[in-house]
Structure formats: C-alpha cells, structure tokens
Amino acid sequence: PIPAAGQAGPAPRRATVGVDVGGVTVGGGAAVVVQSMTNTDTADVDATVAQVAALHRAGSELVRITVDRDESAAAVPRIRERLERVGVFVPLIGDFHYIGHKLLADHPACAEALAKYRINPGNVGFKEKKDRQFGAIIETAIRYDKPVRIGVNWGSLDQELLTRLMDDNQANGFPMTADAVTREAIIQSALFSAELAEEIGLPRSKIILSAKVSRVQDLIAVYRDLAERSNHALHLGLTEAGMGTKGIVASSAAMGILLQQGIGDTIRISLTPEPGGDRTREVQVAQELLQTMGFRQFVPIVAACPGCGRTTSTVFQELAEKIQADLRKNMPVWKTKYPGVEELKVAVMGCIVNGPGESKHADIGISLPGTGETPAAPIYIDGKKAATLRGANIAAEFEAMVASYIEQ
C-alpha cells in the first residue's frame, strides 16, 4: 500500500502470535529481532564459542548454529556452558537437516541446551518416513518446551508436494506459471507443516515460519501470500543473497519492502563472507536496515554528505567514518551509562551548502570548510551554533566534543 499524500511511515505491523525464543520474543507486536548464523564447524567448540560471542556482541539477538552430526550435537551443551561462563546468554538455535529427529533423540543435552529447533520440511524425511520423522522433532520440542522454526527453502523444497502441484497445474491447462507453482509449493509446505505440528500438540505460540528464496520479487510475493494466509510469526531472509554490495542491496530491497508492509518479525541477512571477511557484517547490515527504516535504534545515526567538487579534502569522510566506528565501539558501555544514547544524531558535513542546515537538525554537527571557504568549522549543538573549530586538529577536537556531549 502507498501511504496517502502527506503521510509517512510503514503499514501497521501484521498481527502475529508471539513466540518466546529463550527469553527473546519474536512476533506478537515485539520489535523486529536481529539474528545471524555461524559458519564454524559446531563440533569445534572454541571456534563456535568465539563466533557466537562476536555475533552477539555485534548485536545479534539470536544465533543459529548447524547441528549436522553426532559430534556437533554433543558439542552444543559445551558451547552453551562456555558462552555462559563468559557472560554470553544469547539464545542458540539448532539448524537441523535430514537427521534432526535422530540427533535430538540421541543427544538430550543438546535438545535441552538449544532455545529453538529449525526444521526444514523439504528434507526431514521422504515418503512414509516424512511425517514420522517430522513428528518426532515436534514431540521433542513439546517435551523440552522449545519453539521451532519451520524453515522452507526453495533449494530444498519438498519434491513430492512440488510434483503434485505441477501435475495439477498441467491437468488444469497451465493456469499458473512454473514459478508461481513453485511459490505455491513453498507456501503450502510451510502451512501444512505448521498445521501438522499443531495437530501433534505444539501450540502456535511455539511456531515460527520462514519461506526463503533467492530472488527479490519471489521473496516479496511468497511472504505477502504467507502473511495473508496465516498469523504465524515470520522469519524473513533472502537465501543465497550473494556477496558484497549485491547481497546487501538484494536483502535490503526485499526485506525493506516487506517490513514497510508490516510483514516480518525477525530478520537474518545472509551474506556470503569475503575470504577472511568479518561474519558480524551481516548483523551490522540487519541493524542498519531496521534503523534506517525507523523500526529500531541501535547506534547513533551519523549523517554525512557524500562530498563533491566543493571540497578537495577527504577529512570530513574520514571523520564521519571514524565517528561512526567509535560510536559503535563505545555503544555497549555507553548504553549502560547513558540510557537513550542510541537516539543521538550526529552530522558531519563537507561544506557550507548543506552543512549548517543538516548540522542544526542533528544533536551535534560539524560543517567542515569546503574549497575556497574560510578555514573554519562551525559546530552546532541542539540546533544552535556552539563553537567554531580552526586549525589542524579539527577532527580530534570534534570527537572530544561528541564524547563530552554524550557524557553531559
């Protein structure tokens, strides 16, 4: 829906049944939750503990880990314990494929240590084993009082269901395109599995759904349909989003549109890491998406101009980046000392054209001198000119003023 003229802001959040995941509420009107996933071998306890802790410290409110074999299932309680010893209490989600029913049955300490189980209905079992093995995981979830995410992915879609829908489509003279049938199969797989879980006895307040695809328009279409056809809490994610800017842009475009329409209770940005890249980048992107859209506030906003031919130096861009990095680094401590500090707005601008105006809109802002301008940088605090900086130490002096403003 397009907002009426003069109106701004997203559509009201879709009403969903809230799910408690180890103390973090997903859906039911709660703020959209940021989650991420490790890429370590879960059986490697040291590496997994380090990465979960890093993801959590970066802001991930839930962290998913792969549980693919006995060794990784056995490692899960040790990971949980080691994290708690270093003060990291982030809920852990176990990602199960193919043999989740068996791993959960054989490793009760793993079943207990996890805050949620992710089940993929496309590979939980085939033919007559499918419902039985799916049912076994649901019964474990009931026994340990854990929620589940029924996570459909078009890369591992239930082939029996897809074939049946394709056959029906053919028998009816192809009223739907093949892509539309695939999307319908994804949605039905999620909804039928949720229905089955509820029949077995898992309440809706323990079920989250996801239906991930890798194309932006398909993702939007699938989630809009899913949101219309159920009130389950929804996990959003564009699967195989890709590397670098492509992954960020594709995920932001797809999820931004859905969130604007009130759809989505938790998000994960799936970025393919660059070799040696920082896994926490996906958390930062998820936070920035939610923050730039006005859904949540994690770190102070730094408004910086892009720079142009009116400025010959990159001082202001370097300063903007440094201020943003310092604020992010100090935020965990500042948040405990200065409640509401994440609402701060800082402006770092490159010349007189938009500098003073943008700075006045911020809590604290600097307008650096552009080419040919008087070498002076006016500082604005709470909308009023508060000082003028000159000389070679403008950047350091402004940083000190930001820190002092936060303390005051």
Min dist CB 365 to ligand SF4, Å, is: 11
Min dist CB 384 to ligand SF4, Å, is: 20
Q: Would you state the structure tokens that stand for residue 359, as one six-digit string?
A: 């700075």
Q: 184 among the known binding-site residues? A: no
The letter for the amino acid at 376 is A
Residue 186: CA count within 13 A, CB half-sphere: 27
* Cβ-based nearer residue to ligand SF4, 309 or 339: 309
Q: Would you state the structure tokens that stand for residue 372, as one six-digit string?
A: 């040919």
Residue 402: CA count within 13 A, CB half-sphere: 29
* Cβ-based nearer residue to ligand SF4, 77 or 356: 356
Separation of alpha carbons 62 and 116, rounded Å: 10
* Residue 102, H or E segment: helix 100-106
Min dist CB 367 to ligand SF4, Å, is: 8
* Cβ-based nearer residue to ligand SF4, 36 or 359: 359
Min dist CB 236 to ligand SF4, Å, is: 34
DSSP, collapsed to helix, strand or coil, labels residue 350 as: coil
Q: 308 among the known binding-site residues? A: yes
Min dist CB 354 to ligand SF4, Å, is: 4
Q: 110 among the known binding-site residues? A: no
Q: 305 among the known binding-site residues? A: yes
Contact by Cβ (8 Å): 235, 266: yes
Separation of alpha carbons 98 and 37, rounded Å: 19
* Cβ-based nearer residue to ligand SF4, 137 or 348: 348
The letter for the amino acid at 392 is A
Query: In 10 A of CB 192, how many CB atoms?
Result: 14
By DSSP bridging, strand 207-212 and strand 233-236 are parallel
For 87-110, letters b (16+ CB in 10 Å) and e give ebebbbbbbbbebbbebbeebeeb
Contact by Cβ (8 Å): 220, 158: no
DSSP 154-216: GGG--HHHHHHHHHHHHHTT--S-HHHHHHHHHHHHHHHHHHHHHHHT--GGGEEEEEE-SSH
* Cβ-based nearer residue to ligand SF4, 93 or 348: 348
Contact by Cβ (8 Å): 254, 238: yes
Angstrom distances, CA of residue 332 to CA of 56, 84, 345, 351, 380: 11, 18, 17, 32, 26
Query: For binding to ligand SF4 (CB under 6 A), which residues are involved?
Result: 305-308, 310-311, 349-351, 353-355, 370
Unique residue bearing structure tokens 């053919």: 170
* Cβ-based nearer residue to ligand SF4, 125 or 350: 350
* Residue 336, H or E segment: helix 315-337
* Cβ-based nearer residue to ligand SF4, 157 or 346: 346
Min dist CB 91 to ligand SF4, Å, is: 43
* Cβ-based nearer residue to ligand SF4, 209 or 351: 351
Min dist CB 318 to ligand SF4, Å, is: 14
* Cβ-based nearer residue to ligand SF4, 27 or 370: 370
Smallest CA-to-CA distance from 152 within 200, 201, 111, 185 is with: 185
Min dist CB 345 to ligand SF4, Å, is: 16
Phi-psi region of 59 (alpha: psi -120 to 50; beta: other; left: phi over 0): left
The annotated binding site is made up of 305, 308, 351, 358
The annotated binding site for [4Fe-4S] cluster is made up of 305, 308, 351, 358
